[in-house]
Amino acid sequence: MKRYWAPHAWLPSGMAASVRISVEPGGTIAALESGVAADAGDERLPGVVLPGLANAHSHAFHRALRGRTHADGGSFWTWRTVMYDVVQKLDPDSYLALARAVYAEMALAGITTVGEFHYLHHDRNGRRYADPNAMGEALRQAAADAGIRITLLDTCYLAGGLTADGYTELNDVQQRFGDGDAEAWAERVSSLRPSAGMRVGAAIHSVRAVPRDQLGAVAAFTRMDEGRDAPLHVHLSEQPAENQACLDRYGLTPTGLLKDAGVLGPQTSLVHATHLTDTDIKDLSGTFACFCPTTERDLADGIGPARALAEAGATLTLGSDQHAVIDLFEEARALEMHERLSTLQRGRFSPDQLLTALTESGQRSLGWPELGQIRVGAPADLVAVRLDSVRTAGSAPEQITLSATATDVDTVLVGGEVVVSQGRHRLGDVGALLTDALETLHA
């Protein structure tokens, strides 16, 4: 039995002081005590201990774009062109190297579970690899090497775009994403099997990439997992152009189209959900809404109606998306700060609500309902955040999300295994791993 003691820990009952966490050899929390002094048998963790953070929306290969898309300003659509250049350079080996480094960067930031919105499936000519899921298996291996859990959200991507006249064909780059139709996509995904560190979910890239008559088949696939609904994620209304194209073609908003096709439900996460009508917001009650504020501001997408969605009954989660920043504390802080800017009011989300979005809600949206809380019987996914750094010194423990950054993460345990200790990852120099992986893509 391993015993950890921390000055503070965020438990289901709230922030507690002087907490001992006992962990069984299998990595499960066996006992919790608060208000107790540390003794010689305890391993001390600094600051405040939180449940493992859940990054509910990631595109690992987008990390290659950080700091390289700003010279001419541009838009979401010009950014996408640069992203496509990176797509053409990746294969299973180079993707493994890049994703391993990216996931290690996430672990350093306190992320213990990532939802990988995975649509880079095939070779440069759009042909399946000998193993049709070679790219997905590279992501599985990358997460295992980096010591974090992954939900592989295998993404259906069938069309190049949507106009008032209908769907366009996949272009040369997008051929790598497509499977022909939802049936062929489901056949490929069916050969993926969950493992100790990976669960399999599904995604609809967007209403512009999956035709109306294919949406229901993808949703139905997620409801066939041995009686348990698998996670289903969808990019939704990130850009006004998407909304307009959907209205022009169908007379429906993207939310209306998804509702009509039976996509919306308690396992569905709508990513971005930026440009919504009042009716859209009501229709998303009972779903998850995943906000990625650092990406949404980087791409000038806009500020989504987070508070309105929460009040309508949607559960909020957070992701780092294109990894302009990998820092979920910044994502949580931005969720609140964007609301302050748009409403001229403070306290739109309490610190506890922000922590819940980072932990329990995000884990549930990724199909890990047993994670996200420090409680007896739960896996010991723990993150210790320092309260004595130049950023956090003097902060109240319960308000840590409003002051901490990724650099303040000291220790990370996943299933009781130490992945990060004193701010260093078990793989060593993660900056060097990133540099090596990115040099090939930037050559």
Question: Any idea which residues carry the catalytic annotation?
Answer: 272, 321
Secondary structure of residue 265 in the 3-state scheme: coil
- Side chain identity, residue 318: L
Q: How many residues does the chain have?
A: 443
Structure token digits, residue 10: 């965020």
Measured torsion, CA atoms of residues 341, 345, 347, 353, in degrees rounded to the nearest 10? -60
Instruction: Output the CA–CA distances (angstroms, integers) from residue 259 to 33, 215, 264, 287, in the order listed.
Output: 46, 10, 6, 11
Segment (H or E) for 201:
strand 198-204
- Name the burial class of residue 171, with classes exposed (0-12), middle (13-18) and buried (19+) by CB atoms within 10 angstroms of its CB: exposed
Q: Do 222 and 232 contact (CB within 8 A), yes or no?
A: yes
Listed in sequence order, the residues at least 6 apart from 3 whose beta carbon sits closer than 8 Å to its beta carbon are 20, 21, 22, 23, 41, 42, 43
- Name the burial class of residue 230, with classes exposed (0-12), middle (13-18) and buried (19+) by CB atoms within 10 angstroms of its CB: buried
Q: Do 334 and 305 contact (CB within 8 A), yes or no?
A: no
